[in-house]
Each structure stands twice: as C-alpha cells, then as structure tokens.
Amino acid sequence: MPGTPPTRFVYLGPEGTFAEQALRTVSAADRGSRTPARSVGEALESVRAGEADAALVPLENSIGGAVGVTLDELAEGAPLVITREVILPVEFVLGARPGTPLGSIRTVAAHPQASTQCRGWLRDWLPEAVVVDVLSNGAAASGAATGEYDAAICAPVGATRHRLEVLADKIADHADAVTRFALVSRPGPPPPPTGDDVTSLAVYIAHDRVGALLSVLMELAVRGVNLTRIESRPTGEALGRYVFFLDCTGHVADVRLGEALQGLRRVCADVRFLGSYPRHRWLEGGPVDRPVPAPAGLSDTDYADAAAWLARLRAGDPT
C-alpha cells in the first residue's frame, strides 16, 4: 500500500460474523469505513475495481481447513496481495428464543461446518434433536429468532444481534479452534520485514508429480526456507492438475527467501506471489511473539559474505 494507508475496508458479510470481528482488530479499519460483502469473490472484486482499499476474507480454519473459494479467487484474476493476517478464536454458542428450556429443543439450525465442529456436544446434550443445515451462522440465528427452528448454533455476536438467549457457550469440540483471515490489497510494496514474517505463494508445477513437487520442496530446503502450510486446489483443467498454495517462513526482502523464490520461478510452470506480511502468532490465550532466527549459514550476513567471496573469485582474488 504505497503512500496512503487504506481507509475503505470490505469484509465477508453479513454483519456480525467472525470476519467483521477480525477486521475490528485492525486499527486502521477502526477509523475507516467497513462494508460487508455477500461473498469472498465480491469482496475481492471490489478491491480489484478500486471501490475498496482492502478486503478481509477467511483463509483457513483449524477444523474445517482451507477456504477453497478464497484460494481460488486469489490465484485467478488481477493480482492481489495479502498485507496482514489475523487469527481469531472461533467460539460457538447454542442460542434460542429467551425462555426456551434445553430439554424442549427438537430442531437445531446450523451451518454444516459449525455442526461438524460441535458434533460431540450435540451427541452428549441433544442426542434426539434433528440438525438442519443452513447456509450461514447468521441464517441459523435468524431462523431461531423467527421460530423456524428451536435453536441455532452461531457466533456469540449472532446471538446478541438476534436477541437469542445463550443456552450453552463454548460448545465446540475443540476449545481452541481458530480461523485465519487475510487482509488483501491491490499490489504495492510489501510491509517491511519484522524478523517473523510469512510469504504466501500459489505454485503451478509440471504434470509429472513426484519429481516436480520434490523439486519445489528442495528449492526451499536448500535455502533453509520452512514451509508452514501446503494446500492443493484443482486448477480446473483436469483431475490431477493442482495449484499448490504455500506459506513460507520469511519475507520477500530476505536474501535467502529471494533466492528460493527465484528458484521456484525457474523450475515451476508458474508462481504467483501472494504477499509477505508479519506472522500473527497465536498461542493458547492470545497472540505471542516468537522470533525465528535463520539457520546456520543462511542469514543475510552469510549470504553477503558468500556474495563478496564470489565477487572476489570473479575478480581473480580467491582468498
């Protein structure tokens, strides 16, 4: 984001979801405008079109996995870059119209991913209730409010917004589930390195599988670049053709990550750079900071020493 910071923000709506909650942790967004979008595609298109400066969209969930549509949208169309990640704990509550006894509940509305995450709780506490799939956590809350369903699995903010009584909170089977969101902008110089950064890439490899993926990992390993995430998505061409989404430790401004990127550029069919940004470290109760030193022989200083040595060799001074 060259020059001016973003002021017009868009996020995956509707209002009152986890995405809005995540956006509120971004201080610039507190002072700017915040507009909900109906889909990830719509959010990103409004940034591409210049109608918004940045979009906050979900990348992955520690239970449900990658958000495929976000990955697909980032890999195609005009380039966009991630400038920040936000990791947010995901809490589910069981909400119902005030005064509803737990024992009377026969139907529970829930987004399929939400009911999946609360399966154990439902089995223990509402073994007889029928779970009805709906399209969003918001729709679940709304349906419980109108009486269409007896109860809803939703976010705390959804219960509040729809004036539901919280019959049980923290009902997810994994108490520490989190969702990782990305703040996405039009291309610009990346935020400065912090010493603990992430670089995201979309990598298209040649069709012969073993060799090609092994080559990609070797380009990284030889430069000591760590891979914190790898996701595959079909390219749509044919079964068995994938694009790989990689999250690497390091910043595009780091010498060794730069060399690794150049290596990928040379050996892969295509590489799309999706941004370098500070890692949002999240541990137990909240974000933590844990700096990661470069492995022996791979610091910027080691690279500078080796480059100076090579320059001397080429000039005829092999010492």
CB of 81 to its own copies, least distance (A): 6
Residue 116 within binding range of its own copies, rule CB under 8 A: yes
CB of 226 to its own copies, least distance (A): 5
Residue 189 within binding range of its own copies, rule CB under 8 A: yes
Instruction: Measure the CA–CA gap between 270 and 76, rounded to whole angstroms.
Output: 12
Instruction: Measure the CA–CA gap between 80 and 151, rounded to whole angstroms.
Output: 40
Total chain residues near its own copies (CB under 8 A) = 87
- Annotate each residue in 218-247 with x if it binds its own copies (CB under 8 A) or - if it does not, as one string: xxxxx--xxxxxxxxxx-xxxxxxx-----
* Closer Cβ to its own copies, 49 or 214, answer by number: 214
Record the tokens describing residue 195, joined without a space. 């010493």
Contact positions with its own copies (CB under 8 A) in 142-161: none
Work out which of 31, 98, 266, 285 binds its own copies, going by CB under 8 A.
266
Residue 267 within binding range of its own copies, rule CB under 8 A: yes
Contact positions with its own copies (CB under 8 A) in 68-97: 68-69, 72, 79, 81, 87
Contact positions with its own copies (CB under 8 A) in 283-312: 297-298, 302-303, 305-307, 309-310
Assess contact for 85 and 274: CB atoms under 8 A.
Answer: no
* Closer Cβ to its own copies, 163 or 209, answer by number: 209
Residue 192 within binding range of its own copies, rule CB under 8 A: no
Placement of tokens 């369903």 in the chain? 149
CB of 112 to its own copies, least distance (A): 8
CB of 35 to its own copies, least distance (A): 19
Rounded to 10 deg, the angle between the 68-75 and 40-48 helix axes is: 20
* Closer Cβ to its own copies, 29 or 109, answer by number: 109
Rg (CA), the chain: 23
CB of 186 to its own copies, least distance (A): 10
Instruction: Measure the CA–CA gap between 65 and 314, rounded to whole angstroms.
Output: 50
Query: What 3-state DSSP class applies to 233?
Result: strand
End-to-end CA distance of the chain: 44
Where residue 88 falls (left for φ over 0; alpha for ψ -120 to 50; beta otherwise) is beta
Instruction: Measure the CA–CA gap between 160 and 93, rounded to whole angstroms.
Output: 11
Residue 163 within binding range of its own copies, rule CB under 8 A: no
Rounded to 10 deg, the angle between the 255-267 and 209-222 helix axes is: 160
Instruction: Measure the CA–CA gap between 243 and 205, rounded to whole angstroms.
Output: 7
Choose one: 25-33, 44-52, 54-62, 140-148; the region binding its own copies (CB under 8 A): 54-62
